[in-house]
Amino acid sequence: MPELPEVETVVRGLRGPLVGRTITGVSYDYPGGLVTPDGPIFAARIVGQTVQSIERRAKYIVIRLDPDTLIIHLKMTGRLYVVPNDHVDYADRWVHFNFQLDNGHQLRFSDSRKFGRVYLVGDQSEVTGRLGPEPLDDDFTLDAFRARIQGRSGTLKPLLLNQFFLAGMGNIYVDEALFASRLHPLRRADTLREADIARLYEAIRAVLREGIRREGASVNWYRKPDGTKGSAQDGLQVYGHAGDPCPNCGRPIEKTVVGQRGTHLCPDCQQ
C-alpha cells in the first residue's frame, strides 16, 4: 500500500495537470460501498466543479474543488494519472473511475483489487478528522512526539502503524525507522528511554524525507502519475532484504510477523 512518501509524490505529480481544470463528466463501475456518496449522486454533484488545489493528509489524496472536496485513498493497487482522452495505457484495464476534464484530458483511477476509496464531501474532516499528526509538520516536534508516546504501553510496530497515533506511516517506513533507531518492533512503548524516543523521532522523519526525495518505493504496484517508478526501494536498509547481510553488522536480516504484518529487522542491531 502506498505510504506517506508515495502519496506525497502522487500529489506533487497531479498538481500540474489538474489544478485549474474543471470536471465535465464522470464514468465509473466501482463497487457499491467504495464510493461516497453513491455513484449517481456523486457524478451529478461533482460535474462542473474546478480543482483549486491538491494536498495530502496521511495516505489520502485531497483534491479541493469548489465547493466540495474529492478525497481518494489508493489502498493496495490504486494509481492516478492524467492523460489525453485518446491515450491508451497498460493500467487502463483496471480503470474503475474516469474523470473527464475540460481540456480533452482525463484523470483515471486504476485499481485492480478494487480496495481504493473515493469520497466527495463538503467537509474534509468527515474522512480525515480523527487522524493523528503529520510526522513531517513543523509543529510535530520531539516534545510533541514524546507527549504522544508517553503513557502508551503497546508494542512499537503496531503503534507506529496506527493512523490515529501518527498519520502516514506504513509497513515499509516503520521497518526502516525502527532499524535506523535500533529498536525492536516488539519493544513496548513504555520501556523507551529518553534517548530511544529521540532516536525514533529523528529516524521517522529521516526515512520519510528520504522516501519523498526518491519519489517513493516501487516495490509492488506503486507508480508515479507519469507511469515511472520511484527509487526509494533502492535505498531501503532492511525492508525486502530478508537473508541479506545487515548493512551495519553483517548478520542476516530476518523476516518475522508482527501484528499480522511481515516485518524485517536485524536481530543484533535491534535486540
Angle, to 10 degrees, between the axis of helix 4-18 and the axis of helix 194-213? 40
Burial class (CB within 10 angstroms; exposed 0-12, middle 13-18, buried 19+) of 153: exposed
Task: Give pLDDT, residue 9.
Answer: 98
Task: Give pLDDT, residue 216.
Answer: 98
Residue where the block lists cell 490504486: 78
The residues near 220 (Cβ < 8 Å, ≥ 6 apart) are: 76, 77
- Alpha-carbon distance of 240 to 234, in angstroms, equals 10
Query: Whose CA is closest to 11, among 93, 67, 73?
Result: 73
Q: Are residues 18 and 120 in the same domain?
A: yes
24 touches 102 (CB < 8 A): yes
Q: What is the mean pLDDT of residues 129-145?
A: 98
Q: Are residues 99 and 186 in the same domain?
A: no
Torsion of CA 266, 180, 204, 149, to 10 degrees: 70
CATH code assigned at 57:
3.20.190.10
- Alpha-carbon distance of 66 to 21, in angstroms, equals 11
The residue type of 157 is K
Q: Are residues 154 and 242 in the same domain?
A: yes
pLDDT digits (tens, 9 = 90+) for 5-14: 999 999 999 9
Please name the helix (run of DSSP H) or strand (run of DSSP E) that holds residue 143, with its range, or none. helix 142-149
Q: Are residues 64 and 172 in the same domain?
A: no
205 φ, ψ to 5°? -70, -35
Task: Give pLDDT, residue 32.
Answer: 79
Q: Are residues 149 and 60 in the same domain?
A: no
Residue 151: band (very low, low, confident or very high) from pLDDT cuts 50, 70, 90: confident
Strands 60-64 and 95-101 turn out to be unpaired
Task: Give pLDDT, residue 30.
Answer: 85
Question: In this prediction, what percent of the chain has a pLDDT beyond 70?
Answer: 100
Grid cell of 125 as nine digits = 474532516
271 assigned to some structural domain: no
The residue type of 139 is D
Q: Are residues 152 and 110 in the same domain?
A: no
Domain-terminating residue out of 100, 128, 156: 128
Question: ω before 84 within 30° of 0 (cis)?
Answer: no
Domain-terminating residue out of 101, 128, 155: 128
**For residue 1, pLDDT beyond 90:** no
Domain containing 162 equals 142-265
CATH code assigned at 232:
1.10.8.50
List residues with catalytic annotation. Answer: 2-3, 59, 261
- Alpha-carbon distance of 140 to 153, in angstroms, equals 21
Question: ω before 67 within 30° of 0 (cis)?
Answer: yes
**For residue 148, pLDDT beyond 90:** yes
pLDDT digits (tens, 9 = 90+) for 227-245: 999 999 999 999 999 999 9
pLDDT digits (tens, 9 = 90+) for 28-77: 998 878 999 998 999 999 999 999 999 999 999 999 999 999 999 999 99
- Structural domains counted in the chain: 2
Q: Are residues 60 and 105 in the same domain?
A: yes
Query: Whose CA is closest to 130, among 160, 157, 104, 167?
Result: 167
Average pLDDT over all residues of the chain: 97
List, in sequence order, the alpha helices (H) in 182-233: 194-213
pLDDT digits (tens, 9 = 90+) for 162-215: 999 999 999 999 999 999 999 999 999 999 999 999 999 999 999 999 999 999
Q: What share of the chain is helix, strand, coil (3-state, %, to 5)?
A: 30, 25, 45
